[in-house]
Chains A and B, each alone.
Chain A
Amino acid sequence: MSTPAGPRRVTLFVTCIVDQLYPDIGKATVHILERLGVAIHVPRGLTCCGQMAFNAGFRDESYAVAGRTIELLRGQGDVVLPSGSCAAMIRHLYAELFAHSPYAGPAAELAARTYELTEYLVDVLGVTDLGAHYRGRITYHDACHGLRFLGIGRQARALLARVGEAEMRPLPNGGTCCGFGGLFAIKQHAISEAMLERKMHDVQAAGADLVVTGDASCMTQIAGGLSRRGSSIRARHIAEVLANMVDARPV
């Protein structure tokens, strides 16, 4: 990963869920990086990493979507995603998806320059203090794929520790899955709901007013549960907290 001379430039891959459901996460990521002097490129027509089809076992369809994504990201330098699960797809599972195919090489090459947002900020840019503020109590949920397949979590905690005025509260069983799991949330909805129930119990026990995570998918599950239970606890992506955009969305 050689860094070209001159101002740093990254390619931002917001992921399909952020694009369609949570553009604020994308905007927040843009603001954070630009404030750090990073130039951002967003390839036109970039949509999805292909994980949904891959997880469902439909490898041909996943190959088609992921192959196109590899093409769109070819030669685009460091790629940053505000999602541990999509970054893990590229870094951990593209090798399996593209094994013995013409994309095996390009997939490996892409994986070597793909980063999840918090690891990019802390480990590559060397930054933990983004000048963010939040007056309240925050608890952090470790999204599984990022935690176990990318080994991240330390970085998010380092960033949140520097959020002014915020009080961090540990989340009991913080590393336990929220129950989203992609299509699992629909196909195994009963189990997904049971897992969500336990996460809700733990979130309540944490005593925070804001639950923060690094994956919009987990956030959808957790926010969906909190909302249905009429809870006043809000759920936000870490980018939104770091960009002081916690109040940008009404709900």
Chain B
Amino acid sequence: MSTHTLHFFDRVDTALHDATLRTALDRATTRFVGNRAGAIGALSDADRLRDQARALRAQALSRLDELLERLAARVEARGGHVCWASDGEEAKRYIADLARSRGVRSIVKSKSMASEEIHLNEALERAGVEVVETDLGEYIIQIAGETPSHIIAPAIHKTREQVGALFEKHLGMPPTTEVPPMIRAARQALRQRFLRADMGISGVNFGVADEGAVVIVENEGNARLTTSVPRIHVAIMGIERIVERLEDLAVMLQVLARSATGQKLSVYTSIISGPARPGEADGPEEFHLVLLDNGRSQILGGQYAEALMCIRCGACLNACPVYQSIGGHAYGGVYSGPIGAVLTPLLQPDLPDHHLLPHASSLCGACQEVCPVRIAIPDLLLRLRADAVKAGKFHPIEKTAIQGYATMMNNPAIYRAGGTFARLGARLLRRKGRIRRLPPPLHLWTRGRDFPALPAQTFSEWWEERERQRQSG
């Protein structure tokens, strides 16, 4: 289902009315939130670890040019190749050209949000190469023709019945609603894909500058297979995803796993430095690292630089009451939830209604509370809202209302008159002490909630009267 052709409000509406989705979201986010809380709670000093994680991210970003150069130089010294890609087009061109020149027919992919951001799979398919997603959740949505709905659990919105039906249709699996046979079917189907693939494409959780290495974190084992079995390994890394030293991973890996799923460590952490060395029995013969900029170098210089600290753990999604209600597809882009509402306008500005995303938040701060690197997401959302207004992206009615509000608040006479007018109106509207229907646009309140009847006297009026009495009495 291509969701980006619908308007944001329609996508929200669709999501809110999808009872299956609501149930799935509830189950998943509740589990993730609970697991995270348990894992963080078991740490000797969770606050210190998070403070360290934030400091390390800031440190790396403060020297991003130097660290990227070091990473690239060391990858090349190990016999790897580095592509510096200014944008998605360049990254896609490099990978497609590489595939063509090496006679690549089939590719296996492990999870890479960056590759989804630039729509890599479509470009490769257009170039006549078959691409198979191997992360189970990504595989499911690939055969369903959908986009991911969560940063770490892409098929969170699908029921087992839906998955069973997909596997029945595409894998010829006998009908079942039991999960174990589905797992067996997927393992079997994907196994041969790994063994026959000419190239493996992976994402990167962290680049390690000093070692010329990339770190890939996963639970399934598909990234290990993707990066070890085929002859060529291409790793795509957002340029901001870097640490300086191997030792820094002791902080980053431990906050990542706990924040994402409540695990102490993900099942597999692969730290890969270039192609196989002479004498190594297996591993790729060629290693390519694609460093993807796509706007990040510019973001680093502005008021949203903090967003580049994100380590894509998904904790903010799970904690967000808005995400819990509408799920990932409603956001329209690759990145959803609170950090998605920040990243999408910045990294995917060609999505038509991205300026609405920062408003899909009550600014409750639950995201910031769980972020392992303490990104002040509400502050960033507020800045994006201000930027949208500066760019003229608002409804004229809203501008009029806000101007009216400012005039009223700054002019005592108008404020008093406005209050009097409202009270007159309220007297007409009130039924049994409450108002059940307000005039537009406030009818959007009374659709689902009552509104209090306005009191006979404001607090200021009461106070002034009391003061008068006290002075005279």
Q: Which residues of A contact B (CB under 8 A)?
A: 14, 16, 18-27, 30, 42, 44-45, 47-48, 50, 52-59, 61-62, 64-65, 68, 93, 96, 144-145, 147-149, 175-177, 179-182, 184-196, 198, 220-221, 223-225, 227-228, 250-251
Contacts and interface: CB of A to CB of B under 8 A. Distances in A.
B405 A61 contact: yes
B385 A27 contact: no
B410 A179 contact: no
A30 B229 CA distance: 74
A26 B454 contact: no
B453 A26 contact: no
Nearest to B326: A191
Interface string B444-462: 1101111111110111101
Contact of A19 (B13, B447, B460): B460
B117 interface: no
B386 A26 contact: no
Interface of B: 9, 12-13, 16, 321-322, 325-326, 359-366, 368-369, 379, 382, 384-389, 394, 398-399, 402-403, 405-406, 408-410, 412, 415, 419, 422, 433-434, 436, 441-442, 444-445, 447-455, 457-460, 462-464
Given A20-B419, A45-B412, A93-B382, A224 B445 contact: yes
Count chain A CB atoms within 10 A of each CB in B398, B445, B452 and give the residue with the most.
B452
Contacts of B9: 190
Given A20-B419, A23-B458, A96 B379 contact: yes
A22 B455 contact: yes
Main secondary structure of the interface of A (DSSP, over half): helix
B422 A20 contact: yes
A42 B460 contact: yes
Nearest 7 Cβ contacts at the A-B interface: A181-B362, A224-B449, A57-B385, A148-B365, A26-B459, A177-B364, A23-B459
Main secondary structure of the interface of B (DSSP, over half): helix
B448 A52 contact: no
A227 B450 contact: yes
Contacts of A148: 364-366, 368-369
Given A22-B455, A177-B321, A56 B402 contact: yes
Count chain A CB atoms within 10 A of each CB in B406, B412, B451 and give the residue with the most.
B406
A23 B326 contact: no
Given A145-B365, A188-B12, A198-B321, 11 more contacts: A16-B409, A20-B458, A50-B409, A52-B405, A55-B382, A93-B382, A96-B379, A176-B364, A177-B364, A184-B362, A194-B326
A250 B455 contact: no
A18 B363 CA distance: 21
Contact of A191 (B325, B408, B409): B325
Given A148-B366, A189-B448, A194 B459 contact: no
A58 B452 contact: no
B400 to A, nearest CB: 11
Contacts of B13: 190
A58 B399 contact: yes
Nearest to B464: A44
B419 A251 contact: no
B353 to A, nearest CB: 13
A196 B445 CA distance: 12
Contact of B459 (A27, A50, A193, A224): A27
A53 B402 contact: yes
A15 B233 CA distance: 60
Contact of B364 (A52, A144, A190): A144
B464 to A, nearest CB: 8
Given A186-B442, A191-B16, A57 B433 contact: no
A26 B389 contact: no
Contacts of B384: 57
A188 B448 CA distance: 12
B463 A61 contact: no
11 contacts: A24-B455, A26-B462, A27-B459, A42-B463, A93-B382, A191-B322, A193-B447, A193-B448, A224-B445, A227-B449, A227-B450
Contacts of B422: 20
